[in-house]
A = this chain, B = another copy of it.
Amino acid sequence: MEIITPTLLVDKDQVYRNINKIAEKAKRNNVRLRPHFKTHQSAEIGNWFKEFGIQAITVSSIRMAECFANEGWKDITIAFPVNTLEITKINDLAKKINLNVIVETKETVQFLEDNLKTKVKVWINIDVGYHRDGIQWDDFNEIMEVAKKIEDSSLLSFIGILTHAGHSYKSRTKEEILQTHLDSISRMKEIQQLLEKNNFADVEISVGDTPTASVAEDFIEVDEIRPGNFVFYDLKQEQIGSCKEEEIAIRFACPVVAKYDKRREVLIDGGAIHFSKDYIINSEGKMIFGYISEHNNDKWGKRVKDSYVKSISQEHGTVKLNVEYFNKIQVGDTLIIIPVHACLATNIMGKLRLITGEEIDALCR
């Protein structure tokens, strides 16, 4: 394949294996898989999911929802607290598809009741420990008040409680991920029981995040899972223990433009406007913006030892290589790089190229 500029490559077979693993797990647990499409943002990759029977999806913005609705998706959850300023767009979309939204304040429920033109299904957003968004899980009063307000509304139909246990990303072992999962589920169950004791019937539980969906085997207590990143995985996921390196389905291909013998570094065409500025910290405390893959033509191999993207600026990437690899690499060659954060890289690039050559858009943003 001809590479002349930083290119985000995707291995379709590996994506299928990644989807299959989670789809099988969902089936075994009799739980609905509603994958989060913010990772790939691609109409084409969305279609791959259809082959696994997926009909319901998650997105994180109204714009993304509009895009996938235009691609024929009929059941979409926007897993971002309703932005009331976008009410016109919400009304337009709710006319066309089965739209599910999340709320966490009585004010937003009231606003929707006053301004919606169609019935919309609604989840209450719960904070089980990530402390980013949602009503704190043990604030039962608030949860109950919001639930009652939804129940009293004529246009909102209450589905249940939803959470994203994003603190699982701070894990460094499978055991830590599992513990976060168990805590999160038990908190959600507690709320569910409380609501059911207060005459709310069939309160569903929806949980998200790739780490717990990848590592945990038991999801029988929940109704829906919404992982997204697993479609590609990345170095962050590998570091916290939710995937193996060979499960990462994307790589960057970047031209080498200069070599520096004294510091055993090469300069690549590839920087923050391709990878994003996200990083992982390695075991020595160093910031890592990507690892290097061995490759043989279009076949990716193992990680190159002691080699990594050491720093990036807007377009420049500085790559440290081991002696052997450094001696092999020439200006004009292409380095294959395992990205740190698949979602941000895909969002910035706006397109991917299959390792078989075809280009696909990732523009549902």
Are B314's CB and A60's CB within 8 A? yes
Instruction: Say yes or no for A361: interface residue by CB 8 A criterion.
Output: no
Could you mark each residue 4-17 of chain A with 1 if its beta carbon is under 8 Å from any beta carbon of chain B, else 0? 11000000000000
Chain B residues lying within 8 Å of A3, measured Cβ to Cβ, are 85
A263 with B332: in contact, given A61-B315, A257-B83, A365-B273 (CB under 8 Å)? no
> A81: nearest residue on chain B (CB-CB)?
B257
A316 with B132: in contact, given A5-B63, A365-B273 (CB under 8 Å)? yes
Once bound together, how far apart are the Cα atoms of A262 and B135, in whole Å? Answer: 11
Once bound together, how far apart are the Cα atoms of A136 and B261, in whole Å? Answer: 11
One complex includes copies of this chain to the number of 2
Say how far A88's CB is from chain B's closest CB, in angstroms.
Answer: 8
Instruction: Say yes or no for A276: interface residue by CB 8 A criterion.
Output: yes
Instruction: Say yes or no for A45: interface residue by CB 8 A criterion.
Output: no
Are B105's CB and A347's CB within 8 A? no
Could you mark each residue 299-329 of chain A with 1 if its beta carbon is under 8 Å from any beta carbon of chain B, else 0? 0000000000001011110100000000000
Chain B residues lying within 8 Å of A108, measured Cβ to Cβ, are 258, 331
Instruction: Say yes or no for A144: interface residue by CB 8 A criterion.
Output: no
Are A269's CB and B133's CB within 8 A? no
Instruction: Say yes or no for A84: interface residue by CB 8 A criterion.
Output: yes
A347 with B314: in contact, given A4-B83, A84-B332, A277-B278 (CB under 8 Å)? yes
Instruction: Say yes or no for A216: interface residue by CB 8 A criterion.
Output: no
Are B273's CB and A4's CB within 8 A? no
Once bound together, how far apart are the Cα atoms of A136 and B262, in whole Å? Answer: 10
Are A83's CB and B166's CB within 8 A? no
Are A272's CB and B315's CB within 8 A? no
Could you mark each residue 117-136 of chain A with 1 if its beta carbon is under 8 Å from any beta carbon of chain B, else 0? 00000000000000111001
Say how far A110's CB is from chain B's closest CB, in angstroms.
Answer: 11
Instruction: Say yes or no for A267: interface residue by CB 8 A criterion.
Output: yes
Are A318's CB and B4's CB within 8 A? no
A108-B258, A131-B263 given. 11 additional CB < 8 A pairs? A4-B89, A38-B315, A80-B269, A80-B315, A80-B316, A81-B267, A84-B255, A107-B330, A107-B331, A272-B278, A277-B344
Can you list 10 A-B pairs, Cβ within 8 angstroms, ordered by A?
A4-B86, A5-B61, A5-B85, A105-B258, A107-B331, A111-B332, A132-B311, A132-B313, A277-B344, A314-B347
